[in-house]
Chain A
């Protein structure tokens, strides 16, 4: 769906122009980006574990970086949505990235940590019913150790055992969200196949909607 609404066209014209017109458009864009960033930081404040001036600083950084990205990429806007929706997206992504970085500062966890005792709790298995899940989780651990590549294993441990947010891992491993997700996706598929082959899960039932 390609739309060419007047308001979006005005944004593109303003940000693509030069001099005072561009300055006015960039200033207005920054005002909007800051409102979006503040609202998003507030919405995620529980994850952030910060508030007040520190949270506002995260919002300011996210808004400033998003405005730079939007201005640099304005020529790539294809009119598939309103311009402002497209622009909001950059702000949201910047807030995500800043929160990922902030997590590492406030909750440092060694990537080398492997506390397998956390595994039952990560999936909500009740200690009282240990007899029912002990073999399953032992099989899962064996599959992690024997079936996964070193990188898949490292990412599984970081995300599942250490509960490190994916966006934080992106920074730590100098990677990107897609690459980390794809590695974990392949690991999940291997682990499921292994548990199914050993009789712990139904091998044929697809569970996606």
Chain B
């Protein structure tokens, strides 16, 4: 990614973006859908839009998915 595309990506805002509060509230539901190969982004487009733009929330989703997939409760 060159500087122009990185800057454009940073400046572009998606009006569907749910924001952190809603994404964090739904993250466990969203993560289970992703882990089950269900189209989470189609069911929750506002959360999906947020996760594309918010690094910290996307990082939390990655951690949650890793925990689900590693089955750490056993």
A residues whose Cβ falls under 8 Å from a Cβ of B: 1, 32, 35-36, 39-40, 43-44, 80-82, 84-86, 88-89, 91-93, 95-96, 120, 123-126, 133, 136, 140, 160, 165-167, 176-178, 181-182, 185, 188-189, 191-192, 195, 201, 206-209
Contact = CB atoms under 8 A, between A and B. Distances in A.
Contact of A40 (B1, B10, B54, B63): B63
Nearest to A90: B28
A189 B12 CA distance: 7
B1 A124 contact: yes
B60 A92 contact: yes
Interface in B31-54: 31-32, 49, 52-54
B32 A177 contact: no
Contacts of A195: 11
A166 B21 CA distance: 14
Given A124-B3, A136-B4, 20 more contacts: A32-B72, A39-B66, A39-B70, A40-B63, A80-B28, A81-B28, A85-B28, A85-B68, A89-B24, A89-B64, A92-B67, A96-B63, A124-B1, A124-B2, A126-B3, A160-B10, A177-B24, A181-B54, A188-B12, A188-B13
Contact of A165 (B2, B28, B56): B56
A174 to B, nearest CB: 16
B72 A133 contact: no
B11 A185 contact: no
A189 B15 CA distance: 10
Contact of A166 (B9, B29, B56): B56
B19 A178 contact: yes
28 contacts: A32-B72, A35-B73, A40-B63, A81-B32, A85-B64, A85-B68, A89-B60, A93-B60, A96-B60, A96-B63, A123-B3, A123-B7, A123-B10, A136-B7, A160-B10, A177-B21, A177-B24, A178-B20, A178-B24, A181-B54, A182-B19, A188-B10, A188-B11, A188-B12, A191-B11, A195-B11, A201-B8, A208-B52
